[in-house]
C-alpha cells in the first residue's frame, strides 16, 4: 500500500478580502508553538540584511517607535513588526518564491496590517532609501479602530517571545 503524497497549493485569486480572513489567519496550539520556535531560531540566526536593518530599527531609534524582530503575526513569521502602527517589514531573499511572498502580504493586508517588503539586496546596498521609505510609512496617519473594522471585529495579535 502506497501513502498518498500531499502537496501545497497556492491560490493566486485576487479581489475583495474574504469575510473569514480573521478566522483563517489566527493560529493556536501546536502550530503556534511551532511558529514561535521557528521565529526564535530565526532571531538566533539572522541574515546579514536582517542584522543591518535591525541595527537601524532597534532601540526605538525611529522617533521612539518600537519594532520587534522575527515575530509571529497571525499565521506568519514577519521579519520586523511595529505593533503600535500595525506595520510589518518583510525581507525577500534572492531565492524566495514571489507567489508565496504575495500570498503572505495579501493575508496580512486583509486583516489590517500594513506591509513593507524589501529585497535583502536593497537593504544592504541602499539602506538610506529603505529607511526613508520605512520612516515615511511610520508618519502616515493610521487609525487602528478603522483598520480593525475593515478587517473584522477580532484583533490581530503580534506575538513575540524575544529572548
Q: Which residue range(s) make up the domain with 54?
A: 21-159
Number of domains the chain contains? 1
3, part of any domain: no
CA dihedral sign of residues 159, 157, 93, 99: positive
Evaluate if residue 150 carries a pLDDT over 70: no
- Percentage of the chain beyond pLDDT 70 is 71
pLDDT in tens, 46-105: 999 999 999 999 988 888 899 999 999 888 899 999 998 999 999 999 999 999 999 999
- The answer, yes or no, to whether residue 155 has pLDDT greater than 80, is no
Q: Which run of H or E residues covers position 89?
A: strand 87-92
Let me know if residue 104 belongs to a domain: yes
41 inside domain: yes
14 in a structural domain: no
Query: Strands of 87-92's sheet, edge to edge?
Result: 114-119, 87-92, 76-82, 68-73, 158-159
- State the residue for C-alpha cell 526613508: 132
**For residues 26-45, average pLDDT:** 89
Inside any domain, residue 115: yes
Q: Is residue 4 part of a domain?
A: no
According to the model, what pLDDT value does residue 13 have?
Answer: 45
CATH number of the domain within which 94 lies: 3.40.960.10
Q: Is 16 domain-assigned?
A: no
Asked if 72 and 37 count as a contact pair (C-beta separation under 8 A), the reply is no
pLDDT, residue 63, reads 81
Work out the mean pLDDT of the chain and round it to a whole number. Answer: 80
Asked whether residue 57 is domain-assigned, the answer is yes
**C-alpha of 136 from chain center:** 18
Amino acid at each position: 500500500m502506497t501513502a498518498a503524497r500531499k502537496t501545497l497549493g497556492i491560490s493566486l485569486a485576487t479581489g475583495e478580502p474574504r469575510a473569514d480572513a480573521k478566522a483563517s489567519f489566527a493560529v493556536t496550539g501546536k502550530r503556534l508553538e511551532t511558529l514561535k520556535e521557528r521565529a526564535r531560531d530565526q532571531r538566533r540566526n539572522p541574515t546579514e540584511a536582517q542584522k543591518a536593518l535591525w541595527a537601524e530599527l532597534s532601540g526605538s531609534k525611529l522617533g521612539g517607535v518600537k519594532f520587534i524582530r522575527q515575530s509571529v503575526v497571525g499565521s506568519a513569521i514577519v521579519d520586523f513588526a511595529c505593533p503600535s502602527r500595525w506595520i510589518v517589514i518583510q525581507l525577500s531573499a534572492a531565492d524566495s518564491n514571489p507567489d508565496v511572498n504575495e500570498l503572505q502580504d495579501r493575508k496580512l493586508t486583509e486583516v489590517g496590517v500594513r506591509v513593507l517588503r524589501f529585497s535583502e539586496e536593497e537593504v544592504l546596498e541602499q539602506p538610506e532609501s529603505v529607511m526613508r521609505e520605512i520612516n515615511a510609512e511610520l508618519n502616515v496617519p493610521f487609525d487602528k479602530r478603522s483598520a480593525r473594522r475593515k478587517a473584522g471585529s477580532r484583533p490581530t495579535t503580534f506575538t513575540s517571545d524575544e529572548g
